[in-house]
Amino acid sequence: MPAPRKYPAELRERSMRLVREAQEQDPELSLNAAVVRIGQRVGVNKDTLRGWCKQADIDAGRRPGTTTSDAQRIKDLEAEVHELKRANEILLAASSFFARELDPRLPW
């Protein structure tokens, strides 16, 4: 499977702005129709552009969902929890090891 294509930030911003403008000019135009129309013009995959627009609406508070900053915070916290669990396992094993050295009769 090929790596996902990276679009420049300027193209991303311009594409999302064009979708918003198209919807403002024609209120009957759905997000999907606007994305298809603009995506073809600017050379961005319609599904990618749709995802950008939806995430921008979430970040702006116009749509419910997890904001980009919240998603990053969750990811960071999950990594921290993983590292803390790993450190806890190491400390538990070390304490068990040293306890056995002090008193070999202990059942640990």
Over range 24-41, report the average pLDDT. 94
**How much is the pTM?**
0.70
Q: Is the pLDDT of residue 1 over 70?
A: no
Spatial distance between the Cα atoms of 35 and 94, rounded to a whole number of angstroms: 57
Q: Give per-residue pLDDT as tens, 34-74.
A: 999 999 999 999 999 999 999 999 999 999 999 999 999 99
pLDDT for residue 108 is more than 60: no
Determine the Cα–Cα distance for residues 15 and 49; give it in Å rounded to an integer. Answer: 7
Which amino acid is it at 85?
A: K
List of domains in the chain: 1-65 (1.10.10.10), 67-108 (no CATH)
Contact 64, 58 (CB under 8 A): yes
Residue among 11, 7, 37 nearest 23 (CA): 37
